[in-house]
Structure 1
């Protein structure tokens, strides 16, 4: 009835017609398809299995930086590799010590004169910006490398209302951990502080810490911070007390704490993890040893250059605490009663800090004034903040703090001497290799926050960082006689995973799971 014309594809739709052509599967097109699938499969296996294995098995630079084993900086194209910044004026290559007796020699500087620097891991031979939440002090900000750069001849750390990782603020913390360390000498940082001196809430800081801990990595600080101790006694034990099976005590360690806030206990610390009491045959103590063959007590010491806080009265100067954090603790966190025996205050505006400590730290601290003009929202001027120290327990050992070149206060080693009530020995003016930390935080743990009057973004500007040492006592490097490189390499996960909160607790509880 219908007259259809024959079309070219009719046979394709007719099941009775046998197909023509090559019936084998091994066609050129088929082989190409199989080859493409094999290539994609091998590529995915390499990406998700092979590459992680290569990263894990490759030889690591245990300094996690461009420093070699001798503390020298390796060459990086286009990046400065000398410890002293070429932009540092030669006029500051030497500096007179605070006692006027020694010409100190410049050993490190960074002038931040090159704009647009970044500090992501691997970007810079001396500094690394962290990418973490500083949970230990209940900070409101996430520290991100995005918040730190250089501009107009200064380092700029920006605290902004930028939601990041479920936190409402973003800011920056950078340090020289495992890249540049020093033992003894003077460090000076020139800073324009953020915000205003009379609006409370910001927490700008420049400080130093022992390289055997990494700030923000709780497993590494657990049992080491803020100890600075080389005695084998009850001061190294948990809570600074003898076990209950031995009768407990000392009484002062059980009754002289901050009662209203924490109860009568003096200390909540877990005990000094790498103490002078460590068994002689330990294979996990990084050394060195004392002259009597016992281990040197290793410490997560902290010396603060400046922790600045605003005051609440309009038109008032800001304040800065200049502190050495120590453990174990004196009874009631009191240093010797007569400050004239161990402390000298050089200006009428500097005085002992009313905050003496709590169950987590004892603070040997002085409180001074910051310049009203040295803030971002007032005079936009810079002030210099510094400390000079001689490590150890000798009568010459001390820490002396300065603002704008003027001495503020001096802590002598006698202020850190033995305490009969808590039965502890002398604390040590830190002998550990110390690294430098710069950060801008916000936390109620430090100061009340005036949310109505704080202005965001806030900026902390750093003009320079400089370090001088006695030419006869040059001690630069993070892995000298107080070695840390092998220990860090052995426990690398603890030093690279900020989510691990303690040293001994199991992984199921967020700990590193190591045995002491």
Structure 2
């Protein structure tokens, strides 16, 4: 290995530059000692025998120094030439018993005077001739005092320092010295060609590798592509069956994931309650919707529930004294709880709740049943709890959607579709058989907005009959119950009715007993003396309730619930049968709503519209007198469950059925259904540009 010239060492100076001074790192000369490798120049005298013997002795103790076999005092063999003969001690140190000349050959020792000043107190690099051995330039400093030489204790750096020359480390650097693994580092064109290009991947290892990759790829494809496709075709998807929101979007644009207890049929509905025997013909009815309200703390704010939504408004249509707020409705103890309290809200003195399944769940025909504990005490009057249904084309509380829609149930084209049920000053009974306070006027309704008389091409949801005429559409009402109190006897009761338009003279429907209507227990149920007014006609009866099933009973909350409901068959030959305390109360048949020649109207069918469900608790003098002194607030309407059944093979649920569509019309008039401040259709028309559809009886089509 080539060695660096002397000029590369820090204590050498270039010839002729005696003024050059190196850094003065340490004045302790012994601390500056570095290992010295003795070497001889050609022709130089051999070291003394003592030196040789010392070197051999040192070699016997130092693994880096190997003496010639058999002779401890012999001169170094050629293989040992140039190796250090220092004794086995830390690098850079010398034995105090040995002369410093033992650390270098005589030629080097004789040259040390050029490196040491006369005083011997400091080391100065001196210019040297080109013949000065390199060992002399790198030799450790010598103690030239007359006293015995002493050696300073080695420093940490002395113990672990190595010469920058690898040849001084004691290893064999000869290229002829082969090691066992040298062949791995030597290029071999023939061998490399065979290994690099002459192989094949069709080995056991290669096949296993490719097989593993194939299995991994197949698994990933099956997971991210196969599984979604397979699950799409094998999963049973719930049908909307015409429902606008059922499985679709709600008013807030959210898409509900309808699973578990929030499915059409509540998973907690008892198995025995999943079928029903019809009240009228003993037919088997299947459960199509149920809500047991067993999930604690449900919220009915818009978007929180897939079927029910609470309103946030004042129900001005009936001059209610309360504000309806969604916070007044929740579920607790396995029941739906709607409360009414004397709480100031929106400048009103009371706050109650109303919620519905409008545009989310509707049904046409069948049987609806609710289990209820009525609010307050049956001896105190003034509350107005109600559970009822309405056609989906009208949204309760939103006047613009109801104007010209409620409470019509009419599919004929005649004077009954016109405002006030009059045309050209008649018929006379429409002007004289009504409310005396209004000069005998029978109706103040604006006319049926979506009637069978609507001109072709006008704004109408359809459908059209075989002759191309529109089918009359509206928002009729059937009440499951409206609770009241017989003041004379302080007895709780419920009114169960159907609201309709256009009206009979005197609002009197045909009431031939057992032919047009039937009361099943006259001791409990009687025909309602209220028949209607300028805004509605009602076929109604009043039944005494189970007096224990009130949540604010004077004896305390009893935990008693009574079953109410109605079963109905839509159409011109249909019927409605109401249930009170789990038993039939009364029935009205379609002929009771038949034609009336006196007012010029035709048959009003049992409602054929898809009906949604409502429940509310309010207070209003429009419904009757209020006993302010004895009412105790808050009061609660509790509903244990709501269940809807339909005849086997006649399922018809959803708010947008093909024969009575509603979705597109609602979407086209969404402000009328979402802004309760628009109280009439004219208000909606003013902001939307819509117009009242033309009627062929009075308009040019």
Query: TM-score, structure 1 length as denominator?
Result: 0.83
Q: How far apart, in 1, do the equivalents of 2:255 and 2:275 lie? A: 26
Q: How far apart, in 1, do the equivalents of 2:348 and 2:666 lie? A: 30
Equivalent pair of 2:528/2:541 in contact (CA under 8 Å): yes
C-alpha change, 1:122 and 1:74, in structure 2 (3 Å) is closer
| Matching of residues 54-203 of structure 1 within 5 Å | 65=245, 67-68=247-248, 75-76=256-257, 80-203=261-384
Pairing 1:459–2:633 present: no
For structure 2, which runs of at least 5 residues remain unmatched after alignment? 1-241, 694-701
- 1:287 alignment partner, one of 462, 471, 493: 462
- Would you say how many aligned residue pairs link Structure 1 and Structure 2? 442
Q: How far apart, in 1, do the equivalents of 2:636 and 2:355 lie? A: 14
Report SS of the residue matched to 1:495. Answer: helix
Q: How far apart, in 1, do the equivalents of 2:682 and 2:515 lie? A: 40
Larger C-alpha radius of gyration, 1 or 2?
2
Report SS of the residue matched to 1:88. Answer: coil
Query: TM-score, structure 2 length as denominator?
Result: 0.61
1:207-244: CA deviation from partner (whole Å, max 9, x where unpaired): 000001100000000000000000000000000000xx
Q: How far apart, in 2, do the equivalents of 1:359 and 1:313 lie? A: 28
Q: Which residue of 2 aligns with 1:38?
A: none
Q: Which residue of 1 aligns with 2:65?
A: none
Q: How far apart, in 1, do the equivalents of 2:691 and 2:247 lie? A: 28
Report SS of the residue matched to 1:493. Answer: helix
Offset at residue 515 of structure 1 (A): 3.3
For structure 1, which runs of at least 5 residues remain unmatched after alignment? 1-61
* Higher RCO by CA contacts (8 Å cutoff, separation 6 or greater): 1
Equivalent pair of 1:112/1:150 in contact (CA under 8 Å): yes
Pairing 1:274–2:476 present: no
Q: How far apart, in 1, do the equivalents of 2:258 and 2:407 lie? A: 39
- 2:682 alignment partner, one of 485, 504, 509: 504
Q: Which residue of 1 aligns with 2:405?
A: 224
Q: How far apart, in 2, do the equivalents of 1:65 and 1:514 lie? A: 27
Q: How far apart, in 1, do the equivalents of 2:551 and 2:536 lie? A: 31
Pairing 1:492–2:667 present: no
**Root mean square deviation of aligned Cα:** 2.0
Equivalent pair of 2:330/2:337 in contact (CA under 8 Å): yes
1:184-225: CA deviation from partner (whole Å, max 9, x where unpaired): 000011110000111110000000000011000000000000
Which is strand-richer, 1 or 2? Answer: 1
- 1:386 alignment partner, one of 549, 554, 565: 565
Offset at residue 337 of structure 1 (A): 4.7
Q: How far apart, in 2, do the equivalents of 1:398 and 1:78 lie? A: 35
Equivalent pair of 2:493/2:545 in contact (CA under 8 Å): yes
Equivalent pair of 1:110/1:466 in contact (CA under 8 Å): yes
Q: Which residue of 2 aligns with 1:328?
A: 502
1:97-145: CA deviation from partner (whole Å, max 9, x where unpaired): 0124310000000000011001000000110000000000000000000
C-alpha change, 1:309 and 1:77, in structure 2 (3 Å) is closer
Q: How far apart, in 1, do the equivalents of 2:528 and 2:576 lie? A: 15
- 2:551 alignment partner, one of 356, 376, 389: 376
Report SS of the residue matched to 1:294. Answer: coil
